[in-house]
Chains A and B, each alone.
Chain A
Amino acid sequence: MNQESIGEKLLATFGEETIEETVLFQDQVSVTVSAEAIVAVCRFLKEDSELAFDFLSFVGGVDRYPATPRFELIYQLYSLKHNHRFRVKARVDESEENPASIDSVVEVWPTANWHERETAEMFGITFNNHPDPRKLLLPEHWTAHPLRKDFPLEGTDEDTPDLPREQG
């Protein structure tokens, strides 16, 4: 199936409230869905026999600061059976009372486990129902989220010290 018909099928199944935006750029379609429906959309994409997206390439994040909603999560999919690719995006915002959070898709694709752990520590997004929400790549004693746009490239002495404070 070509990418536009996949987009149309999604729109027909879920309606315009869930499917917020469809963009075609250089033969690749990205569909933005509402963050609450992400697990339902992903499950449909995997289990529908015409689509059969059984392979999740990666889950990533983009910080759109200062635009709102601030974060965009990318789910890049591939179907081994039909040899087609697709991209699903979801936007989440954060505020003082509500830190950014979205449901985890580990129950649909187990490979999302490590991708979501990395996105969580790099951006500060919480993945609800994640089986193992620990840090993956960054040192334990850091609390900063480096891939945010307002975090300086070279880090700071308080947030990203060479050694943990107790070692001096």
Chain B
Amino acid sequence: MPDGAAKEERRVETLEVNIGPHHPSTHGVFRAVVELDGEIVTDVVPHLGYLHRGYEKTCENKHYHNVIPLAERCDYMAASGNSVAYCLAVERLAGIEVPERAQTVRVIMAELSRIFSHLFWLGTHAHDVGAMTPLFYCLREREEIMNMFELTAGGRLMPNYVRIGGLARDLEDGFLERIRAFTETFDRRVDDYEALLTKNPIYIDRTKGIGILPTEDAVALGASGPVIRGSGVAWDIRKSEPYSGYDKYDFDIAVEDGCDVYSRYLVRIREMRESNRILRQAVDTIEETPIRAVKHSLVFPPQHEIYDKTASLIHHFMLVVEGMKIAPGEIYHAIESPRGEMGVYIVSDGGPQPYRLKWRGPAFVNLEALALMSRGAFLSDFIAILSSVDIVLAEVDR
């Protein structure tokens, strides 16, 4: 063959790789179509909706009380925190004041859920980056927390313990002692996890400088929670707009300036320690008041009164059959969930069912930043960045 013969033209093109929806590292049914130039990611197109369960339409067809189990399943990692968010929104809409003991127990449940969620995140994030050991230890802690959830109302994952106006029932004997024992050992356990990862050169190589999210972009893209606190913005709704008695407790906001995956890891580790602090204070300062507000047209009467007093029986009956009728209006209430600003927007038209119920899921909004953070990273870094956003698909897809 003569050398001068025309050689075939070389063509360079990017490769599109489909990750998900069934994938061990996507933390659920999430699909991302990643455009690769060799090993470098040039673009990411997320495809959502694989766990779309029609939440908002289903809630429009249920009574206000019947939405509580749905609320818990909307963010299954911190289920109790979610039901607290929903009940707070309805109470604000209806103008119900919750007694202090119920507020303190709600804080206990919300902080336990936060630790619960961050532990699972830590285990799976370390697993994604290659460290398999922390997963088993984190899940061991979670079993202890699930034992405590079981003590409240019987459910390990979805206790369904919070009610509109307060709680379902009072605490069991021995519950507070168990929490106190948990808080005493938990700090040492977090030290153990940090000993495995924080100064580990392999972990630092895999996470430091990866997935940079500059501060202005974090605000513009609506990121909240550990994602925005890892980018230097000290915003925590528990401090800026306190709810359910959070202003009584002394705790710090965990903020880091690195804007990368490592900073978000440090923020979540510190948040676990701060949650432990809040738990200790809540258990020491819990009040002795009733656990549910008294408002006959809107709040269920206490269980024992239904068997003794006819008036309570009638109220209970009307609330179950006809539902609670809230005056027309609209409200937006946001809490600090482990992933960020979890907001509930309710429009009421005077009937027993919410006219419109919109969940502002923080993971949904934080995920928008994924493409920006991943451009220019290796494919294996993409997995680390995705896990640092901490998505829960139920919140993303609703």
Residues of A within 8 A of B (CB): 25-26, 28, 30, 54-58, 60, 62-63, 74, 76, 80, 83, 85, 87, 109-111, 113-115, 122, 135-139, 146-147, 151, 153
Structural contact, B329 and A58, CB atoms closer than 8 A: no
Assess whether B347 is interfacial by the CB under 8 Å rule.
Answer: yes
Cross-chain contact A136 with B356 (CB below 8 angstroms): no
**B221 at interface by CB-CB < 8 Å:** yes
Do A76 and B345 form a contact, CB below 8 Å, given A26-B92, A111-B365, A114-B364?
Answer: yes
Q: Does B368 contact A (CB under 8 A)?
A: yes
Q: When the two chains form the complex, which single residue of B235, B356, B365 contacts A62, counting CB atoms closer than 8 Å?
A: B356
Q: Assess the B48–A58 pair: CB atoms within 8 A.
A: no
Q: How many residues of B contact A (CB 8 A)?
A: 38
In the bound complex, do residue B331 and residue A28 qualify as a contact, i.e. CB atoms below 8 Å apart? yes
Determine how close the nearest CB of chain A comes to the CB of B100; give it in whole angstroms: 21
Which residue in chain B gives the minimum CB-CB distance to A114?
Answer: B368
A60 CA to B398 CA, complexed, in Å: 14
Residues on the B chain within 8 Å of A85, using CB = 241, 332
A136-B61 contact given A60-B358, A76-B360, A111-B365, CB 8 Å threshold? no
Nearest residue (CB) in B for A148 is B57
CB pair A57–B341 under 8 Å, yes or no, is yes
Q: Is the CB of A57 within 8 A of B364?
A: no
**Cα separation A130 to B206 with both chains bound (whole Å):** 36
Q: How distant is the Cα of A135 from the Cα of B365 in the complex, in angstroms?
A: 16
In the complex, the answer to whether A74 meets B345 with C-beta atoms within 8 Å is yes
Contacting residues, chain B, for A151 (C-beta < 8 A): 57
Can you sample 13 A-B contacts with CB below 8 Å? A26-B331, A28-B332, A56-B222, A57-B341, A57-B343, A58-B358, A58-B365, A60-B358, A62-B347, A63-B356, A76-B345, A135-B49, A136-B49
Pick the residue among B61, B355, B360, B398 that contacts A153 (CB under 8 A): B61
Interface of B is mostly: mixed
B48: A residues at CB distance < 8 A: 136-137
Q: Which residues of A contact B43 (CB under 8 A)?
A: none
Is the beta-carbon distance between B58 and A153 smaller than 8 angstroms?
Answer: yes
Contact B235 A111 (CB under 8 A): no
B252 interfacial by beta-carbon distance below 8 Å: no
> Bound state CA distance, A146 and B60, in angstroms?
12
How far is B346's CA from A87's CA once the two chains are assembled, in angstroms?
13
Closest-CB distance, B115 to chain A (whole angstroms)? 26
In whole angstroms, what is the CA distance A121 to B144 when docked? 43
CB of B54 within 8 Å of the partner chain = yes
| Residues 45-75 of chain B, each 1 if its beta carbon lies under 8 Å from chain A, else 0 | 0001100101011100100000000000000
Contacts A55-B219, A138-B52; A80 near B233 (Cβ below 8 A): yes
Given the complex of chains A and B, what is the CA–CA distance between A32 and B178 in angstroms?
51
Whether B343 and A147, one on each chain, are in contact in the complex, defined by CB atoms closer than 8 angstroms, is no
Is there an interface contact between B365 and A76, defined as CB atoms closer than 8 Å? no
- A residues within 8 A CB of B241? 83, 85
In the assembly, what is the distance between CA of A138 and CA of B331, in Å? 27
Q: Report the bound CA distance from A56 to B219 in whole Å.
A: 9
Choose from B330, B345, B368 the contact partner of A113 (Cβ within 8 Å): B368
B334: which A residues are within 8 A, CB to CB? 57
Contact A55 B49 (CB under 8 A): no
3 interchain residue pairs of minimum CB distance: A111-B222, A137-B49, A25-B329
Please state if A26 and B368 are interface contacts (CB–CB under 8 Å).
Answer: no
Q: How far is the CA of A137 from the CA of B240 in the complex (A)?
A: 32
Cα–Cα distance between A146 and B347 once the two chains are bound (Å): 18
Q: How far is the CB of A80 from chain B (nearest CB, A)?
A: 6
Q: How far, in Å, is A77 (CB) from chain B's closest CB?
A: 10
Most chain-B Cβ atoms within 10 A of its Cβ — which of A30, A111, A139?
A111
Are B331 and A55 in contact (CB-based, < 8 A)?
A: no
Q: How far is the CA of A76 from the CA of B334 in the complex (A)?
A: 11
Least Cβ distance of A89 to chain B in Å? 9
Given A54-B219, A76-B360, decide whether A146 and B57 contact each other with a Cβ distance below 8 A.
Answer: yes
CB contact between B95 and one of A26, A57, A147 (< 8 Å): that residue:
A26
Q: How far is the CA of A113 from the CA of B48 in the complex (A)?
A: 14
Give the residues in chain B near A87, CB-CB below 8 Å: 332
Nearest-CB residue, chain A, relative to B49: A137
> Chain A's nearest CB lies how many Å from the CB of B91?
10
B6 beta carbon closer than 8 Å to chain A: no
Beyond A28-B330, A76-B343, A136-B49, 15 extra complex contacts between A and B, CB < 8 Å: A26-B329, A54-B219, A55-B222, A58-B365, A62-B356, A76-B360, A83-B241, A85-B241, A110-B221, A114-B364, A114-B368, A115-B365, A137-B49, A137-B397, A153-B58
* A83 to B52 Cα, complex, angstroms: 33
B220 at the interface (CB under 8 A from A): yes
What is the CB-to-nearest-CB distance from B180 to chain A, in angstroms, rounded to a whole number?
34
Report the separation of the CA atoms of residues A61 and B334 in the bound assembly, to the nearest whole angstrom.
18
Residues in A whose Cβ lies below 8 Å from that of B93: 26
C-alpha gap A74/B235 in the complex (Å)? 23
Contact partner, A111, options B52, B221, B329, Cβ 8 Å = B221
Residues in B neighbouring A62, C-beta threshold 8 A: 347, 355-356
Q: Which residues of A sit under 8 angstroms from B356, Cβ to Cβ?
A: 60, 62-63
* Least Cβ–Cβ distance between A58 and chain B, in angstroms: 4
Q: Hey, which chain B residues are within 8 Å of A109, CB to CB?
A: 220, 222
